[in-house]
């Protein structure tokens, strides 16, 4: 008990709007993990669909990189799809590569940060579209690297593409967080 009191006292020194934001973050995170692991993951909703449309989108971009080739997307088991260029396997897209966690991370911030509903909706749809495009470019880029520069695939997959995606998400959050609607923010915080 003795360590809880100082933590509680420190917590209440944090400004109320930040405390409210942090509380929302914790609640959204816990709710997401509960819903995902108890309902969505066992049924593969929306993982299977997101993986499929990510693979299809990447195949379109790959066809631009290799215009006179045959691009094929093949489902592998229930958890992945593979992209082939002229019958040669390039890359596998597992469910954890479908950007679901990025969508949730991005939208979670939008939900937790007070703003007018119109602004939230615009940034939600804009952000999802941008993240989707970045992800299919990432997948196609990894496939291209696999064919053209296989030694670079690991670095690009683990570091380069992640840095780009997270930087773009940060830029979107930064733009979303600009205080152009201060009156509405103050009303939301005090309510």
Mean pLDDT of 54-59: 97
Q: For the segment 61-105, what is each residue's pLDDT rounded down to a tens digit?
A: 999 999 999 999 999 877 899 999 999 999 999 999 999 999 999
pLDDT interval class at 166 (50, 70, 90):
very high
- For residue 191, pLDDT over 90 is answered with no
Answer positive or negative: Cα dihedral of 181, 184, 188, 191: positive
- For residue 190, pLDDT over 60 is answered with no
The pLDDT value recorded for residue 185 is 52
Q: What is the CA radius of gyration of the chain?
A: 21
- Higher per-residue confidence, 149 vs 79: 149
- For residue 182, pLDDT over 60 is answered with no
Are 142 and 160 in contact by the 8 Å Cβ rule? The answer is no
- For residue 188, pLDDT over 80 is answered with no
Are 81 and 136 in contact by the 8 Å Cβ rule? The answer is no
What share of the chain in percent tops pLDDT 70?
93
Q: Which residues are CB-contacts of 44 (< 8 A; sequence separation ≥ 6)?
A: 78, 79, 95
The pLDDT value recorded for residue 4 is 87
Q: For the segment 132-143, what is each residue's pLDDT rounded down to a tens digit?
A: 999 999 999 999
pLDDT interval class at 127 (50, 70, 90):
very high
- Give the Cα separation of 185 and 19 in Å (integer): 15
Are 114 and 181 in contact by the 8 Å Cβ rule? The answer is no
- For residue 151, pLDDT over 80 is answered with yes
List the domain boundaries for the chain: 4-190
Mean pLDDT of 5-13: 90
Nearest 5°: phi and psi at 144? -60, -45
Largest Cα separation within the chain, whole Å, is: 70
């Amino acid at each position: 008990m003795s360590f809880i009191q100082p933590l509680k006292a420190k917590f209440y020194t944090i400004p109320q709007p930040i405390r409210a934001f942090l509380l929302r973050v914790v609640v959204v995170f816990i709710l997401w993990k509960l819903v995902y692991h108890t309902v969505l993951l066992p049924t593969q909703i929306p993982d299977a669909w997101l993986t499929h449309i990510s693979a299809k989108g990447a195949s379109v971009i790959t066809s631009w990189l290799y215009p006179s080739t045959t691009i094929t997307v093949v489902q592998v088991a229930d958890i992945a799809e593979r992209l082939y260029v002229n019958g040669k396997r390039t890359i596998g897209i597992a469910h954890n590569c479908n950007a679901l966690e990025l969508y949730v991370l991005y939208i979670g911030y939008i939900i937790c940060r007070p703003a007018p509903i119109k602004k939230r909706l615009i940034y939600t749809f804009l952000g999802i579209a941008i993240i989707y495009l970045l992800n299919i470019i990432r997948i196609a880029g990894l496939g291209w690297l696999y064919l053209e520069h296989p030694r670079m695939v690991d670095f690009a997959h683990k570091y380069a593409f992640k840095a780009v995606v997270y930087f773009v998400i940060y830029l979107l959050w930064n733009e979303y967080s600009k205080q152009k609607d201060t009156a509405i923010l103050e009303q939301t915080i005090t309510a």
